[in-house]
Copies of this chain bind each other. A is one copy, B any other.
Amino acid sequence: MTTEFHGIIGYTITPFSHDGEQLDLPALGQSIDRLIEGGVHAIAPLGSTGEGAYLSDGEWQQVAQYSLERIGRRVPSIVSVSDLTTAGAVRRARFAQQHGADAVMVLPAAYWKLSEAEIVQHYRSIGAAIDLPIMLYNNPATSGTDMPVELILRIVREVPNVTMVKESTGDIQRMHKLQVLGEGQVPFYNGCNPLALEAFVAGASGWCTAAPNLIPALNLSLYEAVQAGELEQARALFYRQLPLLNFILKGGLPATIKAGLGMTGLPVGEPRRPVFGLNEQGRATLAALLEQLHQG
Protein backbone atom coordinates (compact mmCIF):
# COMPACT_ATOMS: atom_id res chain seq x y z
CA MET A 1 0.00 0.00 0.00
CA THR A 2 1.57 3.26 -1.06
CA THR A 3 0.71 6.76 -0.05
CA GLU A 4 1.93 10.16 -0.96
CA PHE A 5 1.85 11.28 2.66
CA HIS A 6 5.11 11.08 4.54
CA GLY A 7 7.50 13.14 6.61
CA ILE A 8 6.30 16.34 8.22
CA ILE A 9 2.57 17.00 7.86
CA GLY A 10 1.80 20.46 9.16
CA TYR A 11 -1.47 21.51 10.75
CA THR A 12 -2.91 24.92 10.06
CA ILE A 13 -4.49 27.13 12.67
CA THR A 14 -7.70 29.05 11.95
CA PRO A 15 -7.11 32.79 12.44
CA PHE A 16 -9.93 34.84 13.95
CA SER A 17 -10.53 38.53 14.37
CA HIS A 18 -9.57 39.85 17.77
CA ASP A 19 -12.96 39.10 19.38
CA GLY A 20 -13.00 35.56 18.02
CA GLU A 21 -16.12 36.25 15.95
CA GLN A 22 -14.86 36.59 12.36
CA LEU A 23 -12.58 34.41 10.28
CA ASP A 24 -9.38 36.09 9.09
CA LEU A 25 -8.75 34.29 5.82
CA PRO A 26 -5.84 36.43 4.59
CA ALA A 27 -3.89 35.53 7.76
CA LEU A 28 -4.75 31.88 7.12
CA GLY A 29 -3.28 32.24 3.65
CA GLN A 30 -0.05 33.67 5.02
CA SER A 31 0.27 30.87 7.58
CA ILE A 32 -0.17 28.31 4.80
CA ASP A 33 2.54 29.98 2.75
CA ARG A 34 4.88 29.96 5.73
CA LEU A 35 4.35 26.24 6.25
CA ILE A 36 5.08 25.49 2.61
CA GLU A 37 8.10 27.78 2.54
CA GLY A 38 9.26 26.06 5.73
CA GLY A 39 9.37 22.81 3.81
CA VAL A 40 6.53 20.70 5.18
CA HIS A 41 5.72 17.65 3.10
CA ALA A 42 1.97 18.06 3.38
CA ILE A 43 -0.66 20.28 5.01
CA ALA A 44 -3.61 19.28 7.16
CA PRO A 45 -6.29 21.98 7.46
CA LEU A 46 -9.05 22.00 10.04
CA GLY A 47 -7.58 19.49 12.45
CA SER A 48 -7.65 19.85 16.22
CA THR A 49 -5.20 22.74 16.00
CA GLY A 50 -7.42 24.35 13.38
CA GLU A 51 -10.32 24.48 15.85
CA GLY A 52 -12.49 22.67 13.34
CA ALA A 53 -14.78 21.57 16.16
CA TYR A 54 -15.53 25.19 17.08
CA LEU A 55 -16.63 26.38 13.63
CA SER A 56 -20.15 26.60 12.25
CA ASP A 57 -20.82 24.55 9.15
CA GLY A 58 -20.61 27.68 7.02
CA GLU A 59 -17.29 28.71 8.51
CA TRP A 60 -15.94 25.22 8.15
CA GLN A 61 -16.69 25.26 4.43
CA GLN A 62 -15.13 28.70 3.97
CA VAL A 63 -11.93 27.58 5.68
CA ALA A 64 -11.75 24.31 3.81
CA GLN A 65 -12.27 25.89 0.42
CA TYR A 66 -9.89 28.77 1.08
CA SER A 67 -7.17 26.47 2.44
CA LEU A 68 -7.30 24.11 -0.51
CA GLU A 69 -7.16 26.97 -2.98
CA ARG A 70 -4.25 28.58 -1.21
CA ILE A 71 -2.31 25.32 -0.95
CA GLY A 72 -2.94 25.00 -4.67
CA ARG A 73 -1.42 21.51 -4.84
CA ARG A 74 2.03 22.85 -3.96
CA VAL A 75 2.05 20.01 -1.38
CA PRO A 76 -0.53 17.28 -0.75
CA SER A 77 -3.46 18.25 1.48
CA ILE A 78 -5.46 16.22 3.98
CA VAL A 79 -8.57 17.84 5.43
CA SER A 80 -10.09 16.84 8.76
CA VAL A 81 -13.81 16.26 8.20
CA SER A 82 -14.84 14.94 11.61
CA ASP A 83 -18.34 15.65 12.88
CA LEU A 84 -20.49 14.26 15.68
CA THR A 85 -23.02 12.97 13.17
CA THR A 86 -22.23 10.59 10.35
CA ALA A 87 -24.30 12.72 8.00
CA GLY A 88 -22.26 15.79 8.87
CA ALA A 89 -18.94 14.00 8.36
CA VAL A 90 -20.12 12.67 5.01
CA ARG A 91 -21.13 16.18 3.97
CA ARG A 92 -17.76 17.58 4.91
CA ALA A 93 -15.87 14.73 3.23
CA ARG A 94 -17.75 15.34 -0.02
CA PHE A 95 -17.09 19.05 0.22
CA ALA A 96 -13.37 18.44 0.72
CA GLN A 97 -13.28 16.15 -2.30
CA GLN A 98 -15.15 18.62 -4.46
CA HIS A 99 -12.70 21.34 -3.58
CA GLY A 100 -9.56 19.38 -4.35
CA ALA A 101 -8.36 17.69 -1.15
CA ASP A 102 -5.95 14.80 -1.66
CA ALA A 103 -7.21 12.93 1.40
CA VAL A 104 -9.42 13.38 4.44
CA MET A 105 -8.81 12.66 8.10
CA VAL A 106 -11.57 11.23 10.33
CA LEU A 107 -11.67 11.17 14.12
CA PRO A 108 -14.71 9.30 15.48
CA ALA A 109 -15.91 12.23 17.57
CA ALA A 110 -18.48 11.10 20.11
CA TYR A 111 -20.94 12.41 22.64
CA TRP A 112 -22.44 9.03 23.44
CA LYS A 113 -19.71 6.42 23.65
CA LEU A 114 -19.66 4.46 20.39
CA SER A 115 -19.62 0.69 20.02
CA GLU A 116 -17.19 -0.95 17.63
CA ALA A 117 -20.01 -1.64 15.19
CA GLU A 118 -21.05 2.01 15.26
CA ILE A 119 -17.48 3.17 14.63
CA VAL A 120 -17.01 0.77 11.73
CA GLN A 121 -20.28 1.89 10.16
CA HIS A 122 -19.30 5.54 10.57
CA TYR A 123 -16.08 4.95 8.59
CA ARG A 124 -17.90 2.79 6.08
CA SER A 125 -20.45 5.52 5.37
CA ILE A 126 -17.81 8.16 4.87
CA GLY A 127 -15.67 5.83 2.79
CA ALA A 128 -18.59 5.02 0.51
CA ALA A 129 -19.33 8.70 -0.07
CA ILE A 130 -15.94 9.71 -1.48
CA ASP A 131 -13.11 8.44 -3.65
CA LEU A 132 -10.31 9.92 -1.56
CA PRO A 133 -8.02 8.03 0.79
CA ILE A 134 -8.98 8.37 4.46
CA MET A 135 -6.60 8.70 7.38
CA LEU A 136 -8.22 7.13 10.44
CA TYR A 137 -7.36 9.21 13.47
CA ASN A 138 -7.25 7.78 17.01
CA ASN A 139 -7.11 10.35 19.79
CA PRO A 140 -9.12 9.40 22.87
CA ALA A 141 -8.10 12.58 24.69
CA THR A 142 -10.17 14.72 22.34
CA SER A 143 -12.65 12.24 20.86
CA GLY A 144 -13.52 10.30 24.01
CA THR A 145 -13.22 7.10 21.97
CA ASP A 146 -10.14 4.90 22.11
CA MET A 147 -9.87 2.53 19.18
CA PRO A 148 -7.70 -0.50 19.94
CA VAL A 149 -5.29 -1.57 17.21
CA GLU A 150 -7.40 -4.60 16.37
CA LEU A 151 -10.40 -2.39 15.62
CA ILE A 152 -8.28 0.01 13.60
CA LEU A 153 -6.99 -2.81 11.42
CA ARG A 154 -10.49 -4.21 11.03
CA ILE A 155 -11.60 -0.85 9.64
CA VAL A 156 -8.57 -0.73 7.34
CA ARG A 157 -9.52 -4.16 6.01
CA GLU A 158 -13.25 -3.49 5.67
CA VAL A 159 -13.28 0.05 4.31
CA PRO A 160 -11.19 0.13 1.14
CA ASN A 161 -10.22 3.79 1.18
CA VAL A 162 -9.15 3.87 4.84
CA THR A 163 -5.46 3.50 4.01
CA MET A 164 -3.59 5.46 6.68
CA VAL A 165 -3.68 5.52 10.49
CA LYS A 166 -2.84 8.39 12.75
CA GLU A 167 -2.13 7.41 16.34
CA SER A 168 -2.20 10.00 19.10
CA THR A 169 -2.60 8.04 22.32
CA GLY A 170 1.02 8.74 23.24
CA ASP A 171 1.67 5.01 23.75
CA ILE A 172 4.49 3.88 21.48
CA GLN A 173 3.39 0.28 21.89
CA ARG A 174 0.31 1.03 19.80
CA MET A 175 2.66 1.73 16.91
CA HIS A 176 4.55 -1.50 17.49
CA LYS A 177 1.25 -3.32 17.34
CA LEU A 178 0.19 -1.51 14.15
CA GLN A 179 3.52 -2.47 12.61
CA VAL A 180 3.37 -6.11 13.72
CA LEU A 181 -0.34 -6.87 13.24
CA GLY A 182 -0.44 -4.75 10.07
CA GLU A 183 2.53 -6.74 8.81
CA GLY A 184 4.31 -3.53 7.88
CA GLN A 185 1.66 -2.81 5.23
CA VAL A 186 -0.37 -0.12 6.99
CA PRO A 187 1.31 3.29 6.98
CA PHE A 188 0.94 4.91 10.38
CA TYR A 189 1.49 8.49 11.44
CA ASN A 190 2.40 9.97 14.77
CA GLY A 191 0.15 12.63 16.24
CA CYS A 192 1.84 12.95 19.65
CA ASN A 193 4.60 15.56 19.48
CA PRO A 194 6.78 14.25 22.34
CA LEU A 195 6.96 10.85 20.63
CA ALA A 196 8.38 12.29 17.42
CA LEU A 197 11.74 10.54 17.68
CA GLU A 198 10.51 7.16 18.86
CA ALA A 199 7.64 7.05 16.39
CA PHE A 200 9.98 7.48 13.45
CA VAL A 201 12.33 4.92 14.97
CA ALA A 202 9.40 2.52 15.31
CA GLY A 203 8.58 3.00 11.64
CA ALA A 204 6.05 5.83 11.42
CA SER A 205 5.63 7.21 7.90
CA GLY A 206 5.03 10.72 9.08
CA TRP A 207 4.54 13.15 11.91
CA CYS A 208 1.32 15.18 11.95
CA THR A 209 2.20 18.29 13.90
CA ALA A 210 1.47 21.96 14.41
CA ALA A 211 5.09 22.62 15.37
CA PRO A 212 6.22 23.60 11.84
CA ASN A 213 4.20 26.78 12.23
CA LEU A 214 7.04 27.77 14.58
CA ILE A 215 10.13 25.57 14.07
CA PRO A 216 9.87 23.89 10.67
CA ALA A 217 13.61 23.49 10.18
CA LEU A 218 14.05 21.54 13.40
CA ASN A 219 11.08 19.29 12.64
CA LEU A 220 12.40 18.55 9.16
CA SER A 221 15.94 17.92 10.36
CA LEU A 222 14.73 15.36 12.86
CA TYR A 223 12.90 13.49 10.12
CA GLU A 224 15.88 13.67 7.80
CA ALA A 225 18.33 12.46 10.45
CA VAL A 226 16.17 9.39 11.10
CA GLN A 227 15.79 8.79 7.36
CA ALA A 228 19.58 8.94 7.03
CA GLY A 229 20.01 6.56 9.95
CA GLU A 230 21.91 9.25 11.91
CA LEU A 231 20.84 8.20 15.36
CA GLU A 232 23.09 10.48 17.43
CA GLN A 233 22.06 13.45 15.34
CA ALA A 234 18.39 12.53 15.56
CA ARG A 235 18.56 12.20 19.33
CA ALA A 236 20.30 15.55 19.69
CA LEU A 237 17.76 17.25 17.43
CA PHE A 238 14.92 15.65 19.32
CA TYR A 239 16.05 16.74 22.77
CA ARG A 240 16.70 20.21 21.40
CA GLN A 241 13.10 20.72 20.31
CA LEU A 242 11.46 18.62 23.05
CA PRO A 243 10.90 21.50 25.51
CA LEU A 244 8.99 23.42 22.85
CA LEU A 245 7.06 20.31 21.81
CA ASN A 246 6.08 19.71 25.42
CA PHE A 247 5.14 23.33 25.90
CA ILE A 248 2.79 23.55 22.92
CA LEU A 249 1.13 20.28 23.90
CA LYS A 250 0.58 21.24 27.54
CA GLY A 251 -0.35 24.84 26.76
CA GLY A 252 -2.93 23.80 24.19
CA LEU A 253 -2.08 23.80 20.50
CA PRO A 254 -4.40 26.59 19.28
CA ALA A 255 -3.35 28.94 22.10
CA THR A 256 0.39 28.33 21.89
CA ILE A 257 0.71 28.14 18.12
CA LYS A 258 -1.37 31.28 17.68
CA ALA A 259 0.73 33.12 20.26
CA GLY A 260 3.92 31.92 18.59
CA LEU A 261 2.78 33.04 15.15
CA GLY A 262 1.99 36.45 16.59
CA MET A 263 5.47 36.67 18.12
CA THR A 264 7.04 35.81 14.81
CA GLY A 265 5.23 38.47 12.84
CA LEU A 266 1.93 36.93 11.84
CA PRO A 267 -1.00 38.01 14.05
CA VAL A 268 -3.77 35.42 13.91
CA GLY A 269 -5.95 36.33 16.90
CA GLU A 270 -6.83 34.03 19.75
CA PRO A 271 -8.68 30.74 20.05
CA ARG A 272 -12.42 30.86 20.18
CA ARG A 273 -13.99 30.84 23.68
CA PRO A 274 -14.20 28.98 26.00
CA VAL A 275 -10.55 28.31 25.06
CA PHE A 276 -8.28 31.10 26.27
CA GLY A 277 -5.31 32.60 24.50
CA LEU A 278 -1.90 32.15 26.10
CA ASN A 279 -1.50 34.24 29.26
CA GLU A 280 1.42 36.56 30.03
CA GLN A 281 3.47 33.94 31.84
CA GLY A 282 2.94 31.46 29.05
CA ARG A 283 3.91 34.03 26.45
CA ALA A 284 7.16 34.77 28.27
CA THR A 285 8.02 31.08 28.45
CA LEU A 286 7.20 30.57 24.79
CA ALA A 287 9.25 33.58 23.76
CA ALA A 288 12.23 32.26 25.71
CA LEU A 289 11.89 28.80 24.19
CA LEU A 290 11.72 30.22 20.67
CA GLU A 291 14.64 32.53 21.27
CA GLN A 292 16.77 29.65 22.48
CA LEU A 293 15.96 27.57 19.42
CA HIS A 294 16.59 30.33 16.93
CA GLN A 295 19.92 31.26 18.45
CA GLY A 296 21.29 27.72 18.36
Contact = CB atoms under 8 A, between A and B. Distances in A.
Nearest to A228: B231
Interface residues of A, number: 60
A176 to B, nearest CB: 6
Contact of A239 (B21, B108, B141, B179): B179
A192 to B, nearest CB: 9
Contacts of A20: 87
A84 interface: yes
A20 B88 CA distance: 12
Contacts of A53: 84, 111
Contact of A226 (B48, B231, B274): B231
Interface in A60-90: 84-87
Contacts of A274: 85-86, 108, 110, 114, 118-119, 121-122
A115 B282 CA distance: 14
Contact of A201 (B21, B54, B87, B198): B198
Contact of A113 (B54, B117, B122, B141): B141
Interface of A: 20-21, 48, 53-54, 56-57, 84-87, 108, 110-115, 117-119, 121-122, 125, 141-142, 144, 170-173, 176, 179-180, 194-195, 197-198, 201-203, 226, 229-232, 234-235, 239, 242-243, 252-254, 271-276
B232 A229 contact: yes
Contacts of A202: 197-198, 235
Nearest to A195: B172
B201 A112 contact: no
Contacts of A231: 201, 226, 229-231, 234
A72 to B, nearest CB: 29
A176 B199 CA distance: 14
Given A201-B235, A229-B231, A273-B87, A142 B111 contact: yes
A239 B180 contact: yes
A166 B202 CA distance: 22
B115 A276 contact: yes
Contact of A252 (B112, B142, B198, B226): B112
Contacts of A179: 239
